[in-house]
Chains A and B, each alone.
Chain A
Amino acid sequence: MRRLRAWLIRVGGLFNKGLRDREFSAEMDSHLQFHIDDNLRAGMSPAQARREAMMKLGGLEQTKEAYRDRASLPILETFFQDLRFAVRMLHKNPGVTFVVVLTLALGVGANTAIFGLVNGVLLQRLPVPAPEQIVALVIQSSGSPLGALGFSYPQFAEFRQQTAPFCEVFGQALGRVNLVADGHTDVLAVSGVSSNYFSALGVQPGLGRLILPGEGERPGEPAILVLGYSYWQKRFGGDPGIIGKQVRVDGKPVTIVGVVPKEFRGQFSTFEMDAYLPLSSVYPGQSPNGFWSSRDLRLMLSLGRLKPGVTYPQAQSGFDVVSHRLAAQYPVTDKDVSVHVMDERLSRPIPYANNAFIMFSGLFLILAALVLLLACTNIANILMARASVRQREMAIRAALGGARARLVRQMLTETTLTALLGGISGVLLGAWLSRLIGAIHLSGFPLQLGFGFDWRVFAYALATVFFTALFAGLSPALRATRADVNTVLHQGGRTDASGAARHKVRGDLMAAQVAGSLMLLVVAGLFVRSLRAVEHMDLGFDPDQLLNVALDPSINNYDETQTKEFYRALEAKISALPGVQSASLASAVPIGYGRSKDSVYVEGGHVAPGQLAPGVFFNSVDPHYFETLRIPLLLGRAFADADSETSPRVAIINETMGKHFWPSENPIGKRFSITSDSGPFVEVVGVARDGKYRTLSEDSLPYFYLPLAQNFTPARTLQIRSSLPPHSLVPEIQGEILALDSNAPIVEIQTMRESLSGALGYFLFRLGASLAAAMGLLGLLLAVVGVYGVVSYAATQRTQELGIRMALGASPRQILALLLKQGVRLVAAGLLFGLAGAWALTRAMSFMLFGVSPSDPVTYIAAGALLSGITLLACWLPARRAMRVDPIVALRYE
């Protein structure tokens, strides 16, 4: 305590130096006077008395120095001196300061932005009490990739019950629903949550109440809804009177009972849920093959909250016991099923434990680090150039008694100050950049790329700043202060004549820059080429000039007959509009969210007992579908109006399904069932070309189509192929729909291209490509500035030498070759190392790329050519300037 008090007073002592010094002088004066008085009294002469008193007191200056040191903190005091000096130096060279700060701001900004995103998406825990207890429960069946399936509800309930002593299991099924309120329809991303979801997470209501334990896990309970905060703000203007309001969800009345708090966005860090419903409100029906009883419908994503003190291994062995028990009990469905207990953050963005996101983050952090390295190299170059200018100053200061450590410290203070300035600008820039990325809006998907601006981001930014200060500042500082005063002062103002070593360092830095920049360019190039491949890939249908109008008459309580009549009338009217080439209805859109899957039982091919029939995705479409989407039929026919409810049931399959079920046979005329081994069967009447159905990166997938007339679904998408720009048709189409029903049951209108830009489509490819391209360009810019700086500095340094050479008869061409030779050698070395580095870096990238190999030669060659072209230009410009210098001027230089 006493020490702390003394220390604080000493810190305070930094600020009242003048007063303190005056007071101490007065005290010394009074001390001497007392002593002289005494001596006089003892009989000395005045001169003798004074002399004796002075001697007894000791060296006055030493005393003052000792007193001063004690009065304040010498370390801090010199630090403040350094700081004042540093501020003066920065102020004196505003140009240099600006360039350094700007360079660093770019480097730190890129890092902060990327790290901020990674932090928000991957590192920050859920905003709930004791988040470290939350684990992801990732279920795996042997043979299927980790996380590729969820829990069936019975399975979920059994795990929850049997692991209750050490872990509270809770979960949700993701879904999309229509919500109609005040005559307006929205498509919502919702969580159908288990009754203990909010209680286990520990989330408190933001308004009203949440879903309560024991609520909503029996079909038939009254339907309720809890709103997500953002959706509540956006859709209802944050109206607190919303509690108790009746809305319609998928056509059924639902009561809003509460709103979650602002900070809770659902369990996913990449998107915010619009609403939460109890499972019974999402799955109101009870059927033997339905959600509540089927062990084969694996829709639940589960988390758990470990009881305090339970470790991961303990929890894991507990889950293993239950897994084995269930496998023995339900051999058909639960055989080989295991549950992995893992940190919830490792299972992001969704509990797919394929580490894709972690790899992505890692790659982009490496890219950002490369950018920072390039920035640092530039700064080191600038500082080194300045260090040689200041070598004289340093040598003189050293000659006057400045200790080397003290001089290094002072130069590092300068660098750190600059780095801090750059760092602050960088953090601001980074915050702005990631706000920009975070503001990306996707229609139909509540994307939420939060910028987790917390201590981690600050710590990261601070670490980058100090890394820069040390990396860029230490070497120049050491060099500048190593100088021998004699040598420096004898050089007559010419700096660093013997600077071969320094040139070497600068050359190495330049080569490193070229290498780093090439790595960035290659990664950017691969991403961009991958995006181009995706955008131009064959989807199996023609996505241009196509408008999708999602409709759901069940919103307006239509029964089946009314629905059919509505669609029939609508399709007829739309087809007749000018500019419409063809229009068709389908229950799902390719690369969209709606999808159906059913088991396929091939006629005659019995499913062995203990085996499950394979599940295949399908779509229900009308006769014009293949014409509208331009999906070629390879065999057989399209659906016709004659395929009605009463006619024999038919199906069209894709090539892959044909090869899978009837290899080396013509599938036309074959029959299969989606209900059971014994039918009813549908007959294959056509084979369509393969396409993309669920995601862009999927491998070819078995798929089939049923006629809408034989497989009724109320929610359909009207797809319109037009010779006009699709958007220009929207008002007319809306008019036609309104004419049929003034409560237009429109869910969403967008072009197929817009739909493809969504989260399942191009979005991630575009995000990756733009981020990588931005960093590639930044790297290129930094490298060019760096190379230009090094070469032009070297040229200036050699002005005198070049003058002599010219005076002795060297031709301009020889001078140019002399200067270029060094640059070319360094660029070539940099390119070589860069190629090796890029090759190593891109090994892990193959799963992020589409249609392009990580070793794609075109990318490597293009990046190398671009970089060498630009850097050689950056070498050539200063070399040419040096070549044109008048020998007389050059010899007089300095």
Chain B
Amino acid sequence: MSDNAGDKKDVWQGTLALMVLKTLQAMGPLHGYGVARRIEQTSGDLLAVNYGTLYPALLKLEQEGYISSEWGVSDKNRKAKYYKLTRAGRKQLSKEEHEWEQTTAILARFLAPGEGRS
């Protein structure tokens, strides 16, 4: 927590799962590269980290049963592993979205007067 790099990483890891789930919900079945690009585009530069770190996260979500994977063929006829949300994943996503909204709402209220003062 003391250095900036650590901060960034923590944010990345804590929220990556949620971002992956949300991306898959928005885009439907998608391969790893697609998920990485989408997250990068949506979040801007803030989370521009190595794409490679995405894969262990995908594996973890799959092990937990929130997503499933299947080899398929892309529109340009390339073989790729496609990930899609499972029912449990959808439930988990709505739960985490809700929690996240609550957290941000609380934090927003908490931080608002401080902003005014500074």
Contacts of B51 in A (CB 8 A): 31, 35, 56-58
Number of A-B contacts (CB under 8 A): 74
* Per-position 1/0 for A734-752, Cβ under 8 A of B: 0000000000000000000
Interfacial chain A residues near B32, Cβ < 8 Å: 27, 31
Chain B hits for A35, CB < 8 A:
33, 51
- Are A57 and B52 closer than 8 Å at their CB atoms? yes
- Docked Cα-Cα span, A356 to B76, in Å, equals 88
- Chain A neighbourhood of B56, CB < 8 A: 63, 66-67, 69-70
How far apart sit A228 and B56, CA to CA, in the bound complex (Å)?
Answer: 66
CA distance A34 to B76 in the complex (A): 10
Contact yes or no, B52 A30, CB < 8 A: no
Binds B, one of A3-11, A153-161, A555-563, A856-864: A3-11
Q: How far is the CA of A3 from the CA of B50 in the complex (A)?
A: 26
Chain A binding surface SS class = helix
Nearest-neighbor residue (CB-CB) of B32 within chain A: A31
Q: Are B63 and A37 within 8 A (Cβ)?
A: no
Hey, which chain A residues are within 8 Å of B33, CB to CB?
30-31, 34-35
> B78 touching A30 by the CB < 8 A rule?
yes
Cβ of A646 under 8 Å from chain B: no
- Please classify how large the interface on chain A is, using the bins under 10, 10 to 19, 20 to 34, 35 or more: 20 to 34
Interchain CB contact (< 8 A) of A6 among B64, B76, B78: B64
Q: Is the interface of B mostly helix, strand, loop or mixed?
A: helix
Q: How distant is the Cα of A6 from the Cα of B64 in the complex, in angstroms?
A: 5
Contact check, A62 vs B52: say whether CB atoms are below 8 A apart.
yes
Q: Which residue of A lies closest to B57 (CB)?
A: A70
CA distance A58 to B59 in the complex (A): 18
Q: Confirm or deny: A490 has a beta carbon within 8 angstroms of a beta carbon on chain B.
A: no
How many Å lie between the Cα of A38 and that of B78 in the bound state? 13
A34 and B80 in contact, given A57-B52, A67-B59, A70-B59 (Cβ under 8 angstroms)? yes
Q: Which of A107-149 contact B (CB under 8 A)?
A: none
In the complex, chain A residues whose CB is within 8 Å of the CB of B66: 2
Shortest Cβ distance from B22 into chain A, in angstroms? 18
- B15 within 8 Å of A (CB atoms): no
Q: Look across to chain A and name the residue whose beta carbon is closest to the beta carbon of B33.
A: A34
Contact with B along A37-78 (1 / 0, CB 8 A): 110000000000000000011111011001101110000000
Q: Is A15 an interface residue (CB 8 A)?
A: no
| B28 contacts chain A at the CB level, 8 A cutoff | no
A30 nearest CB across to chain B (Å) = 5
CB-CB contacts below 8 Å: B42-69 with A: 50-53, 55-56, 59-60, 63-66
A58 touches B50 (CB 8 A): yes
Q: Is the CB of B81 within 8 A of A27?
A: yes
CA distance A31 to B31 in the complex (A): 8
- Assess whether A460 is interfacial by the CB under 8 Å rule: no
- The one of A23, A24, A33, A60 that contacts B78, using a Cβ cutoff of 8 Å: A33
* Docked-complex contact B31 and A63, CB < 8 angstroms: no
With a cutoff of 8 Å between Cβ atoms, the chain B residues found around residue A2 in the complex are 64-66
Q: Taking the nearest CB of chain A, how far is it from the CB of B67, in angstroms?
A: 12
Is A767 among interface residues, defined by CB-CB distance under 8 A? no
A71 to B57, CA, bound (A): 10
Interface pair A63/B55, CB less than 8 Å apart: yes
Q: Is the CB of B81 within 8 A of A30?
A: yes
Which of B31, B52, B64 touches A58 (beta carbons < 8 Å)?
A: B52
- Which single residue of chain B is at the shortest CB-CB distance from A20? B59
How near does chain B come to A16, taking the closest CB pair, in angstroms? 13
Are A34's CB and B63's CB within 8 A? no
- Beyond A34-B78, A58-B53, 5 additional contacts (C-beta under 8 Å) are A27-B32, A35-B51, A56-B50, A58-B52, A59-B52
- Top 5 nearest A-B pairs (CB, nearest first) are A58-B50, A63-B52, A6-B63, A58-B52, A34-B33
